[in-house]
Structure 1
Amino acid sequence: MTDTAADVTAGFGPAGAAGGRRSFMTLVRVETRKLFDTRTSKILTAVLVALGLGSVAARGLVAGPHFFTLAGTSAIAFGTLLPVLAILTMTGEWSHRTALTTFALEPRRGRVLAAKCLPPLVAAVAACLLALLAAAPVTAAVSAAQGVPAVWQVAPHTVLGWIATMVILTAEGLAMGALLLNAPAAIVIYFVMPMLWSAVGQLGHVGAALAGWLDLNSTTSALTSGEVSGGDLARLAVSALVWIAIPMAAGVLRVSRKDI
């Protein structure tokens, strides 16, 4: 048994024999451990935290003591790396060849996939909370250094919309990984799609309309605005259906029927 396979079985404990019944939380704990156990995931997590906190501190030197402006700067790193972490979560079983071990220990593949989704989504929320926590002392320090009053006011719906955007982008990475089961392909498509939609948006009214309804990066921008209209929610729902719900459903079906 390889070290990776040993990591997979270790979390199941005495009930690790094939066919044993395990709670969903046991599966979540195992998938959380697997998420941060690989060298790639450890490096990616360290880079994500470093860039997120670094961007908050660096923005303070330019933007001044504006609390949410500083915290929101971390979205550049989070929106890039959190989906990649999610993709690696979904494709890791196949790239590390541990799918046979995992699904032998838990034959109900749908439960395994559901357990895989929770750790990256929780990590997205935790990353946003960490950025908000880091922005508070940075805002106070910049205010004291520059001798200007700090701007702490931020609408709760703006913060919640920002966190929801990070969760949605992470969910997109999960769906892409589940559908393709190939990390390089999923990562390339995830990063190329915004550029393609930007080009489509320049193709007259039809292209702009398509991008307005199907570009998830565009439709999520309404979440942090002062007012979210019914039209904004409709466009977000359609883009989430196309890029999250349908790919995830297809991915679950593919994994459920895939020979190992």
Structure 2
Amino acid sequence: MTVPFHRLLAVETRKLFDTRSAVVLTAVLLCLTVAAIAGRGLYAGPDLRWLIWTAGIGYTTLLPVLGILTVTNEWSHRTALTTFALEPRRWRVIAAKVVPPALAAVVASLLAMLVAVPATALTSAVQHVPAHWNATPTTMAGWTAANVLFTLMGVALGTLLLNAPAAIVVHLASTGVWNAVAMLGSAGETLARWLDLNRTIAPLATGDWADISPARLAASAAVWIVIPLLLGTARVSRKEVK
């Protein structure tokens, strides 16, 4: 009997917050969002867009880790055998694992906006300065999309490596590596502009839509999301489960 895909989604969504590491990471995200927005409001004043972007500093680090753990927990907790016995078509399981972290990134982005709005108003009242309500829907949509892409990068790395520490190290080291590559000369700078996901996503995250290069964004997304996810799915489909 075929397991309906919506049931796989429900199960993978529950798994997303069903482990101690995921619960701790979610709690850290919530606390960091509130603390970062409050701290930035006291320091920089009531600027809604800047307060929302402040939450993104932690999001670009922690949301991909959540995506990594979504995949790797299946192997570290040795539940893969049960999962794939119930659904032998492993690609469907991987497909179901991609959606919950992406939705979590959207929810986290909305949470930052909901926290930033009253924080902006409160900061304005406390500091007796006018608030800047400059977070346009277009800008926030781009910022949310950037968070989703970073999260999918984590899912892809986790699927490819099937090892949480290794995937987290690759994720955290990628920015420094590409900065080093960019310093090697014109060829290195060109490679970084095309393949560094942090660089190609930056205009999307800041709402500078005129500076977005669809070709470079697609190239870096292919290198960091599409190709690792496809290779990882092929690896999972052939990997012996013990």
Query: Are 2:208 and 1:226 aligned?
Result: yes
Query: Are 2:76 and 1:100 aligned?
Result: no
Alignment match, 1:146: 127
- Contact 2:156/2:226 (8 A) holds in 1: yes
Alignment match, 2:236: 255
Question: d(CA) in 1 for partners of 2:225 and 2:122?
Answer: 40
Query: Are 2:43 and 1:72 aligned?
Result: no
Match runs of 1:7-46 below 5 Å: 20-46=1-27
The TM-score normalised by the length of structure 2 is: 0.96
| Max Rg structure | 1
- Residue 64 of structure 1, CA deviation: 0.5
- Contact 2:69/2:164 (8 A) holds in 1: yes
Paired residues, what number? 240
Amino acid in structure 1 at the alignment position of 2:77: H
Give the CA RMSD over aligned residues: 1.1
Question: d(CA) in 2 for partners of 1:220 and 1:252?
Answer: 25
User: The residue matched to 2:111 in structure 1 has which SS?
Assistant: helix
Identity %: 56
Query: Are 2:143 and 1:157 aligned?
Result: no
Alignment match, 2:180: 199
Question: d(CA) in 2 for partners of 1:80 and 1:227?
Answer: 23
Query: Runs of 5+ in structure 1 lacking a partner?
Result: 1-19
Per-residue Cα deviation, 1:87-128 (whole angstroms, up to 9, x for no partner): 011111111111110000111111111111111000000000
Amino acid in structure 2 at the alignment position of 1:42: V
- Residue 52 of structure 1, CA deviation: 1.2
- Contact 2:71/2:159 (8 A) holds in 1: yes
- Residue 253 of structure 1, CA deviation: 0.6
Question: d(CA) in 1 for partners of 2:58 and 2:10?
Answer: 26
Q: Determine which of 76, 84, 90 is the counterpart of 2:71.
A: 90
- Residue 225 of structure 1, CA deviation: 3.6
Query: Runs of 5+ in structure 2 lacking a partner?
Result: none
